[in-house]
Structures are given as C-alpha cells and as structure tokens.
C-alpha cells in the first residue's frame, strides 16, 4: 500500500517504521515546514499533525480522491464540515481520537460500566488523563470520547475540565514528562472507589491501529470509525 504521511512528528515517524516493516511504502510526507514525494501517487493518506493543520490536511486528501485516516485531536468543532466534504467528493474518511485496539476495547468497557453504574447514585464518576509535556490540546481527544460514552448513560449533562459542578462530568488533564497516554475512569463513593485504567507504554499501539484502519479503508467509500474497522 502506498501511503502519504501528513504530519511527520512522533506519530508520523512511528507509523513510517511499522508500515515499512509490514511491506508498505511511504510515497509522500509533510511537516509544517516542508514536504517530499508525490502526494498523488498515494493510495491512502494518514494524518497526525496539529489541531490547526488537520482540516487543511483532510481536505487536501478528500479533494485529491485519496482515502484519509486522521488521528489528530483538538479540531473536532469542524468534524461535520469534513463529513460534508467527504460526502460531496464520494470519498473515504476515518477519524478516531485513539487508534489503539486497547483503547477501543476500553471505550466499550467504559460504556458498559457507565450503564451498569447508572442506578447507583452514591457513586460520582470522573475522568483523568495524563500525557507528555508537548501535547497541545486538553483534555485529550480520548478523554472526550470516554466522557461522551459516560454521558450517554448519566444524569450529567456535559463534561468540563476541572469542574466541581454536580451535574457536569469532571475531566482532569495532567502533563508529565514522556507519558505516552494514560486514561483513568473513577467511580467514587463515600466508602470506596471503582476505577479502571488504560496506559499506553509506547506509540506503537496507536500507529498499528492507524495502519490497520488505512488497510481497511483503502478500497471503501464512506465515513467510518474504529468500531467499523474492529467490528466492536
């Protein structure tokens, strides 16, 4: 599979390494400063860039008729614009706040737990995420997806960073050196805590999932999620 990498930072480089090991080729790569290769030769584009650059990168792929896998977080206020563009161009598009298989299983466990815990009003739920110091957005895209999963089954109306409002789901975001991505959901009562954690040890899980999504998307048309890719 011929891949264009839009964004060639920590994730782009990890994807390149794993994609080459799987026998794929990288025909184009771009950063904020420069680009090299032949974009039009790509069979699929994978974009991990920045919140400011995602919309331009996704649009560029859709305009060129190249299926696009996007993992960049922090731009989702424009998601419906990209869906409309994909429909207009009869294109192929997957966005996921987190491409790792483990986190996508965690999303399902989270929704199951939220449903189970809904009648037990003595427990108050909260979400914590911890990431490396370079991360630009907070809360993480993954924490937002987790929060949305909880809100489907909760009396809480919305989520916010660092809130103590009773009807709002609190998300705490911490930044610490070299943390690849940790997400913790806690249900706290006066007598105990139930919590579950996903901890990424490296970026390889995210990268493997993004390559899997690209392989799956390459010959399809439409707008998909990782649930479609993993059939969960």
Ligand X SMILES: O=C(O)C1=N[C@H](C(=O)O)C[C@H](O)C1
Residues that bind ligand X (CB under 6 A): 73, 97-98, 131, 135, 140-142, 181
- Shortest Å distance, C-beta 10 to ligand NAI: 4
99 is in an annotated binding site: yes
142 is in an annotated binding site: yes
Q: Does 73 bind ligand NAI (CB under 6 A)?
A: yes
Among 206, 213, 214, 229, binds ligand NAI (CB under 6 A): 206
Identity of the residue, 7 or 67, whose beta carbon is nearer to ligand X in the bound complex:
7
Would you call 135 a catalytic residue per the annotation?
yes
Q: What is the 3-state secondary structure (H, E, C) of the chain?
A: CEEEEECCCHHHHHHHHHHHHCCCEEEEEECCCCEEECHHHCCEEEECCCCCCHHHHHHHHHHCCCCEEECCCCCHHHHHHHHHHHHHCCCEEEECCCCCHHHHHHHHHHHHHHHHHCCCCCCEEEEEEEECCCCCCCCCHHHHHHHHHHHCCCCCCEEEECCCCCCEEEEEEEECCCCCCEEEEEEECCCCEEEEEEECCCCHHHHHHHHHHHHHHCCCCEEECHHHHHCC
CB-nearer residue toward ligand X: 135 or 160? 135
Applying CB under 6 A, which of residues 4, 8, 183, 187 lies at the interface with ligand NAI? 8
Q: Of ligand X, ligand NAI, none, which one sits near residue 131, judging by CB under 5 to 8 A according to partner kind?
A: ligand X
Please pick, among 29, 131, 156, 208, the residue that the annotation labels catalytic.
131
The answer to whether residue 29 is catalytic is: no
Active site amino acids: 131, 135
Binding residues for NAD(+): 43, 71-73, 96-99
């Amino acid at each position: 599979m011929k891949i264009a990498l839009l964004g060639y930072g920590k994730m782009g480089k990890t994807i390149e390494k794993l994609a080459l090991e799987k026998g794929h080729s990288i025909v184009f790569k771009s950063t904020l400063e420069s680009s090299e290769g032949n974009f039009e030769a790509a069979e699929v584009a994978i974009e991990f860039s920045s919140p400011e650059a995602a919309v331009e990168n996704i649009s560029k792929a859709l305009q060129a008729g190249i299926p696009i896998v996007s993992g960049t977080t922090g731009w989702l206020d424009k998601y419906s614009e990209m869906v409309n563009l994909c429909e207009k161009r009869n294109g192929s598009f997957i966005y996921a706040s987190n491409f790792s298989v483990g986190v996508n299983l965690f999303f399902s466990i989270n929704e199951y737990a939220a449903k189970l815990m809904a009648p037990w009003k003595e427990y108050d739920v909260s979400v914590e995420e911890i990431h490396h110091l370079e991360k630009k957005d907070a809360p993480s895209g993954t924490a937002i997806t987790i929060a949305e999963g909880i809100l489907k089954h909760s009396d809480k109306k919305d989520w916010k960073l660092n809130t103590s409002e009773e009807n709002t789901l609190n998300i705490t975001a911490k930044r610490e050196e070299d943390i690849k991505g940790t997400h913790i959901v806690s249900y706290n009562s006066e007598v105990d805590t139930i919590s579950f954690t996903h901890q990424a040890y490296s970026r390889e899980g995210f990268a493997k999932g993004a390559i899997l999504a690209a392989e799956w998307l390459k010959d399809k048309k439409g707008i998909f999620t990782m649930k479609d890719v993993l059939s969960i």
